[in-house]
Amino acid sequence: MNNQTQIVDALRKRGNKVTPQRLITIEVLLTMGQQHFSVEELFHGVKQRNPEVGMSTIYRTVQILEEMRLITKRNFDDGFARYELCEMDEKHWHHHLICLKCGRVIEMQDEYLEALEKEIEKKGFIIINHELKVYGYCSDCYANMEGEKFD
């Protein structure tokens, strides 16, 4: 499980500075949990705690945390880059169900793909990671689509 101490230790071990601004950024990031956030949303949360923190500090911190695989960038085909916090000991990310009507993103964790991975690895291919996005309609949108033609 990620916590501030683990992230700070990892940053120091990598040789990165741990400034007060970076600490606030990490604190805000940790309060977001598994929420999919944009850099702008993270910036807004940090600005509420310290109005003097600049956007460039947030971008640099996000870039470093992404390089360290502590956060990962997600693209849900809505024109925005989003990020989410990764567990430090997590081998694979969870998967996403994306509603084509409202844009809602539902996280999915399932064991089906682990079985598929094992079969693939038996064939001599070493999997480092994978990502799965499933497009369709959430139950709310589907219920309200009576008579509509599907994309």
* 130 assigned ligand-binding residue: yes
| Distance separating alpha carbons of residues 136 and 21, to the nearest angstrom | 40
The reply to whether 86 sits in an annotated binding site is no
User: Vertex 70, ends 68 and 71: CA angle to 5°?
Assistant: 110
Distance CA 151, CA 149 (A): 7
Binding-site residues for Fe cation, in ranges, read 114, 130
Binding-site residues, in ranges, read 99, 102, 114, 130, 138, 141
Binding-site residues for Zn(2+), in ranges, read 99, 102, 138, 141
